[in-house]
Structure 1
Amino acid sequence: MALALKKMYQGYFWVINDLADPRTDDYFLMSSPIPVIIIVGLWLKFIFHWGPAYMKDRPPYDLKYIMIFYNVFQIFANGFITYLAWTARKEVDWECTPVDYSSSYWGQLFLWSSHKYFMLKIADLLDTIFFVLRKKDRHISFLHTYHHFGMVLITWIGARYVGGGHSYFIAYNSKYGKLEWLKKLITQAQLVQFIFILYMFVKLFFTKGCEYPKIVPFFIVPQNLFMIILFGDFYVRIIFLDNGV
C-alpha cells in the first residue's frame, strides 16, 4: 500500500511538473491544478447550493450595468485574442504546427495568448453566477454547466502543456454577449467553431511526422463531438420553441 501511494505521489509530480511546459511556472494559476480545481469546485457549490439558498427569499438583483460592463469587457478581450491569432496566421501550418517551447517571440506570444484565453474561461464562470443572482436558474442547464466547467479545465491543460502549435486553432472563439435575438446566430457560430476544431484535430491522426503531441487529439476530438451533439440539440430546441412546436 505504501509503495502504491509513493508511486501515485511520484506520478502526480511527473505529470504536473516534468511533463509540463516550464515556461508556465510563473504564470498565474499555472504551476498547479489545485487552485483551479478549488475555483471550479466553489463555483459548482455556489451555483447549485449556496447561491440558490441565499436567493431563496430575496428578490433578484438588478445587474444591468454590471452585465453591460462584463459583456463589453468580454467582447474586447476575446476580440484581442482573436486579433493576436490573426496576426500569427502565417506562423502556423494547417496540416501540423508543433509547439514552440523556446523563448522566441512567437513561442512566447502563443504561450501568453494561451494563458490569457484560459483566464477568460475563468471569467466566463461569472455568467452562471449572474444567473443565480438574477434568479434565472432555469438557464443553468447541463450544457451550460458542462461547457463552462470543461473549458476551464481544458484551457488550463492546454496552456500548461501545449501553449501554442496546433492549439492555435482553438483561439478563434468570439464573445457576442447574451442578446436574446442573437441566440440562434451565436449557437450557429459555436457549432461551426466546434466542427472546425474537430476537423483540424482529426487531421492530426493522419498527418505523418507531426511533432505536435499525438495525445492531445484524443482529448479534443471526443470533447468537440460531445459539444456538437449538445449544442446541436440545443439549436434544434431553439427552432422548435421559436416556431411554437
Structure 2
Amino acid sequence: MEINSIKTSALLMYDGFIQNADARTENWLLMSSPVLQSIIIMAYIFFVTSLGPRLMENRKAFDLKGILVVYNFGVVALSLYMCYEFFMSGWGTGYSFHCDLVDYSESPQAVRMAATCWLYYFSKFIEMLDTVFFVLRKKNSQVTFLHVYHHSIMPFTWWFGVRFSAGGMGTFHAVLNCVVHVIMYTYYGLTALGPKYQKYLWWKKYLTTIQLIQFVMVTTHISQYFFLHDCQYQFPIFIYIIGLYGLIFLFLFLNFWYHAYTKGKRLPKVLQAQTWAHHSNGVMNGHANHKDD
C-alpha cells in the first residue's frame, strides 16, 4: 500500500511539473517524457564504459577512416545548418543579446526557434557516436569520465530546455557551440583524411583558445541576468545551470591551458606534444577523437 502511495505521489508531482511545459513540443520525437532519452543515455554509458570494451577486448580494432570522414563533415554540415536556423529564428533577427525571453506563440519565427532547439538537442545523440568510435577503434584511454559526462549530460539537460524553454537568452550557448563545432569537426574531418592533409592543420594549436573564448562568452552573456533590472526570463533555473556549466568548463580549459602551454613550455618539444595530447584527450569535451595513430 505504501509503495502505491509513493507511486501516486510521484505521478502527481510529475503531472504538476509537466503542466508548465511547452505544449508546442509535446508530441515531437523523444519529447513526451524524459524516460526514453534516459534509457538511451544509460545504454550509451553502459556500452562505452563496459559492454563495448569487453566485446572489443579480443578483437582487432576497426578501421573507420572512411566512416569518420563522412561523420565529421556530416556534423560540420549539420552545425552550419543549425547556426543558420538559430540566426534566422532570433539571434540575427531581433534578439537583443541581453534579456531575451522565450516566445511561446505559434508564430512562424517562434516555432522555428523551438524546432531548432529540438534539432540541437537531437544532435547531441548523434555526437554520442564520438565515443562509440573510440570503443570500436580500441581507443579506450580516450573514454574519460569528462568525455562521457559531457556527452551524457548535454542531451539530458537539453530535454528540459526544449520542453520548457525553447528559445530566448538560454540558447546563446547553443549558438556558440554550433559555431565551435563547425571549426572543430572540420579539423577532425581533415585529420581523418590522412597524413597528406596535415599541412592544412597548422591551426590545431588554436582549438583550445577557441574553446576558452566560447566559455568566456557563454559565462559573460548568461551572467548578465544577475545584473539586469526586471528581467522576466520564464525559467531562471536554466540560467543557473548554464552559468554553472560554463564556469566548470572554463576552469577545466584554463587548467589545461596552464599545464599544456605554461608548464609544458619548460619541457622538450617531444614531451610538450605528449603533454598536449594527454590533456586534450581528457579535456577538450572528449572531441580529440579522430586523430590517426
Query: TM (normalized to structure 1)?
Result: 0.92
* Cα 1:207/1:93, change in 2 over 3 Å: same
Report the more deviating stretch, 213-222 or 84-93.
84-93
| Matched-pair contact (CA < 8 Å) for 1:97–1:211 | no
Match of 1:185? 206
Q: 1 CA distance for matches of 2:84 and 2:245?
A: 25
When the two chains are superposed, the root-mean-square deviation of aligned CA atoms in Å is 1.9
1:242: which partner in 2? 272
Matched, 1:200 2:221: yes
Query: What one-letter code is carried by the residue in structure 2 that aligns with 1:215?
Result: I
Q: Which residue pairs with 2:176 in the alignment? A: 172
Q: AA paired with 1:23?
A: R
- Counterparts of 1:70 and 1:109, CA distance in 2: 26
Corresponding residue for residue 158 of structure 2: 155
Candidates 136, 139, 158, aligned match of 2:139: 136
Mapped to 2, the partners of 1:235 and 1:30 lie a distance apart of 38
Q: Residue 193 of structure 1: CA displacement?
A: 1.4
- 1:7 pairs with one of 6, 9, 24: 9
Partner secondary structure for residue 93 of structure 2: helix
Q: Contact 1:143/1:230 (CA < 8 Å) preserved in 2?
A: no
Matched-pair contact (CA < 8 Å) for 2:117–2:166: yes
Change (3 A) 1:144 1:50: same
The superposition leaves residues 127-181 of structure 1 with CA deviations (integer Å, 9 ceiling, x where unpaired) of 0000000011111112211211121112222111110011231222232222495
Give 1:37-186 correspondences, 5 Å limit.
Answer: 37-87=38-88, 88=90, 89-170=92-173, 171-173=175-177, 174-175=180-181, 176-177=184-185, 178=188, 179=191, 181=201, 183-186=204-207
Q: How many pairs are equivalent?
A: 244
Q: Which runs of 5+ in 2 are unaligned?
A: 192-197, 265-270, 276-293
Residue by residue over 1:15-51, the C-alpha shift from the partner in whole angstroms, topping out at 9 and shown as x without a partner, is 2x21211111121111111111111100000001110
> Residue 50 of structure 1 aligns to a residue in which SS?
helix
Distance 1:128 1:222 in 2: 24
Q: Structure 1 residues 123, 243: closer, same or farther in 2, change over 3 A?
A: closer
Amino acid at match of 1:56: E
Change (3 A) 1:79 1:49: same
Q: Which residue of 1 aligns with 2:248?
A: 226
Gaps of 5+ in 1: none
- C-alpha contact (below 8 Å) 2:99/2:169 kept by paired residues: yes
Quick check: 1:29–1:36 contact (8 Å CA) kept in 2? yes
The answer (yes or no) to whether the contact 1:115–1:159 under 8 Å persists in 2 is yes
Give the Å deviation of 1:183. Answer: 4.7
Runs of 4+ with >3 A deviation: 1-5, 179-184, 234-239
Q: Give how far 1:105 is off.
A: 1.5
Task: For 2:258 and 2:147, locate their aligned partners in 1 and report how far apart those are by CA, in whole Å.
Answer: 16
Aligned amino acid, residue 224 of structure 1: G
Residues 148 and 102 of structure 1: CA distance in aligned 2, closer, same or farther (over 3 Å)? same
The answer (yes or no) to whether the contact 2:170–2:238 under 8 Å persists in 1 is: no
SS of aligned partner of 2:124: helix
